[in-house]
Amino acid sequence: MNKIQLTKEQLGQIAAGVLFGGLFIYGYLVYFWLPTARTIEENTKKVASIEADINKAKMQKAKYKNLEVKLASLREEKEAAQKKLPRERKLPDLLRTITALSKRHKVDVQSITPSGSAPVEYFTRVSYIINLRGDYHDVGRFLTALGLEERILTSENLTMSAAAGSEKSVNAQFILVAYQYNG
């Protein structure tokens, strides 16, 4: 085979080409490839971190899937509890209830006298002395209806006596206790 003979000038040009090629590759790597690779790596880490946060949020959402539904049901339970045990005295509502029940059960309420209130740990007992007149069974139905009301009411110390000279056979007196929430 024939050997190719190169002149010094050609060898210098090849060496200069290799040197400039090496410098170009070095410059490309240092100024373009490595910064771009670092940026890509940083962005990849950011994307992985964001995806992890998204997955964590999805897991929490799945865990508390029915949170709004549960919150709505808890609000309804709170409203129902406040109807049973209101924060205020609500005397007008209590009078309307007693009046409506007395008409429904054919009982005549003679008087309602407030007899004070007594604070207990979480609630206050508000007492009223009620005098009424009616038939024996009607009075029983009236007291039962009071106990079945949505608001918590109790009847205490019931005394009954025969009514003289009246078509209503019984006079009754009892203490009606209404409860009020202290919280």
Residue with tokens 């998204």: 54
More confident call, 150 vs 102: 102
**Is the confidence at residue 125, as pLDDT, over 60?**
yes
Q: Give me the chain's average pLDDT, please.
A: 85
Task: Provide the token pair at 111.
Answer: 């008087």
Q: Quick one: how far is CA 73 from the chain centroid?
A: 8
Distance between CA 75 and CA 71 in Å, rounded? 6
Judge whether 137 and 126 are in contact, CB under 8 Å: no
Task: Provide the token pair at 43.
Answer: 């962005």
Average pLDDT over residues 152-162: 88
More confident call, 76 vs 78: 76
Q: Shortest CA distance to 159 belongs to which of 128, 122, 131, 118?
A: 131
Distance between CA 52 and CA 32 in Å, rounded? 30
Average pLDDT over residues 62-67: 73
Q: What is the pLDDT of residues 29-58, one digit of tens each?
A: 888 888 888 988 999 999 999 999 999 988
Query: Would you state the pLDDT for residue 87?
Result: 63
Judge whether 83 and 179 are in contact, CB under 8 Å: no
What's the pTM value of the predicted model, to 2 decimals? 0.57
